[in-house]
Structure 1
Amino acid sequence: MSGAQRAELERRLAQHVDAGDTAARDAVAHVLATTYGAAALPALLRASVHDRNDDGGSLQLDVLELFKAWPAEASAQILACVASDDPGLRRVGVWGLSVIDWSRRHELLPLVVEAGLDADPRVRAEAMGALGSIFGADDPRARAVLTAGVRDPDAGVRCAAVQGLYQWRDEEVTALLVARAGDADRAVRFWTAWALSRRPGGQAALERLAADRDAEVSAAAHEVMALDRCASGASGHRGP
């Protein structure tokens, strides 16, 4: 296909994204990906700003296939997203850093740490998720950003930070999570209940959350407490 045809497909892709037509979006994105390969990445990454495929569509799968087939080009595009003036593209860039090449996580970590201090809360939340997973690995820089994140003014960032801190099991982190049991945002309290699972010193906070005014928060705390009791009973069992 010619450059003009590619431009027309990219224009249609943008239209479908703006209209929220995920089926048409995915169809055009797939044609672009299979026809133009790495050259289609900028358009597909722009489309990913508005929909990271939480709806189960194929856009993200096509992007991942392009990452796999053209790693050098993918890395260049992701780094361009991270450095973009558009916060939506920066968010996509942080996600991309998490999937392009896990062997480079120590090299890429400073970019994710910087994103955790971004002016846009969506970018900060994305960074918290990355720091709590592939970029965590007990790195003190990741921990520092996450511990600051639990006090972020944005509830979405606090949610992501609470989830990200789950891997650290020491008393300092437990104290931070216990404090979040009184957070004004119900989603933060919900994820705090799960993050307090099997933590010495977190039982009292779980009991408060079990009595929370929000039914989903209360149910989560009750489930965590039940799972903790089962795990404790199993670990204490001594068979014949």
Structure 2
Amino acid sequence: MTLADLFRYAGGTLDGDPWPLVRELAVSGDRSAAASVQAALERYARERNWYGRDLMAHVLAGLSGAEVFPLLLRVFAGALRSEDDDDGERLGMALSAVMRADPAGCRAVILPVLAGDDPDLRRAALWALRDVFESSDMGTLREALADPNPAIRRTALNSLPSVNNNPQACELVVTALQDLDAWVRHDAVLLLAWSAPAAVVDHLVSLTSDPVWYVRSVLGEAIGRRAANSDRAPAAAAALRELLADSEPSVRAGAVRGLGMLGVSLDALQSRTDDPDWWVRAAVADVLAVNLRRWPPARPLLAQLTGDANATVRETAKKALHASE
């Protein structure tokens, strides 16, 4: 197959999986094709043909590398600016491939853009910074986290290095838990959930009364995971019991999973076996199944759930009991 076939894929006149052809063209070394691929990329971006744009971006990244990184960064900024259903994920993968191949060359493009006036281009550069991060960039991210634009703050937050081995990053993420924007707070919880020290539980529990449900919905697992096997377990258990009574089902389900991770008594789950929402009961069944041998009351509760009105809940309970026989 040829580049002409890829244009047909991009235009919707050829069905099938185009990605083997994309990979073949990207590593072909045929620089003579770069100009037509670039023209197609720019045309598809203008036409909001995200599928065609992403195909061309990957081919162009392979053919031209850092030479076209400024263009790819501008196209990615356009994806961030778009109000259509365009998350730019595939496009971002093309940028990441170029940055892995030539981090120094891409940094030379990114750093001046960070000081520019275009907020979407700044966001694109902040997003890209995480792939070429150096310790000297921490000041830039700290400044961006104080930007009045919440989209800039959220992007900067997700470009920080891992909180597990960078105390400065951990401090900035903990501070972001109190951000005025709910999505920034949401992302800060997720960043702390996987690798932060147990001490962050002291800050996470303060969000159990957050006014926004999707912030509270990610708290349960974060609190349970970080407090497990630590001296924060009692405070975490109290916070999770509070979340179990939340009005939002996703928050209650998260609290159920958090209690399962915490390793404490699961007595509080007895009140959730008849929760009005089946996905909360499904979470209860999952946690009871995992803790069946550790916590004896799990068996009669699972037996009760084998008669649940929801098939997923019933099957989870039945499989757990059968596996324990």
Confirm or deny a common fold (TM above 0.5): yes
| Bin of the TM-score, shorter chain as denominator length | 0.7 to 0.9
User: Does the alignment pair 1:153 with 2:203?
Assistant: no
Match of 1:11 in 2: 42
TM score, norm. by length of structure 1 = 0.79
In 1, distance between residues paired with 2:127 and 2:255?
30
SS at match of 2:71: helix
Q: Give the conservation status (yes or no) of the 8 Å contact 2:34–2:60.
A: no
Match of 2:318 in 1: none
Q: Give the conservation status (yes or no) of the 8 Å contact 2:164–2:196.
A: no
Question: Quick one: which amino acid aligns to residue 118 of structure 1?
Answer: D
Residues 193/146 of structure 1: CA separation in 2 closer, same or farther (3 Å cut): same
In 2, distance between residues paired with 1:170 and 1:188?
19
Residues 138/3 of structure 1: CA separation in 2 closer, same or farther (3 Å cut): closer
Shift of 1:4: 7.5
CA RMSD of aligned residues (A): 2.9
Gaps of 5+ in 2: 1-31, 81-85, 228-232, 264-289, 295-325
SS at match of 1:202: helix
Gaps of 5+ in 1: 235-240
Q: Segments of 4+ in structure 1 off by > 6 A?
A: none
Query: Identity rate of aligned residues, in percent?
Result: 30
Match of 2:73 in 1: 45
In 2, distance between residues paired with 1:3 and 1:169?
48
Higher-Rg structure is 2
SS at match of 2:104: helix
Match of 1:223 in 2: 257
Match of 1:190 in 2: 217
SS at match of 2:224: coil
SS at match of 1:46: helix
Shift of 1:23: 1.3
Match of 1:76 in 2: 108
SS at match of 2:74: helix
Deviations 1:162-193 (A, max 9, x none): 2233343354x323211111101111101222
User: Does the alignment pair 1:206 with 2:206?
Assistant: no
Query: What is the aligned residue count?
Result: 223
Match of 1:26 among 54, 70, 73: 54
Match of 1:168 in 2: 196
Q: Give the conservation status (yes or no) of the 8 Å contact 2:164–2:170.
A: no
Shift of 1:2: 9.7
Question: Quick one: which amino acid aligns to residue 247 of structure 2?
Answer: R
Q: Give the conservation status (yes or no) of the 8 Å contact 2:154–2:187.
A: yes
In 2, distance between residues paired with 1:5 and 1:81?
27
Which structure ranks higher in relative contact order (CA pairs < 8 Å, sequence separation ≥ 6)?
A: 1
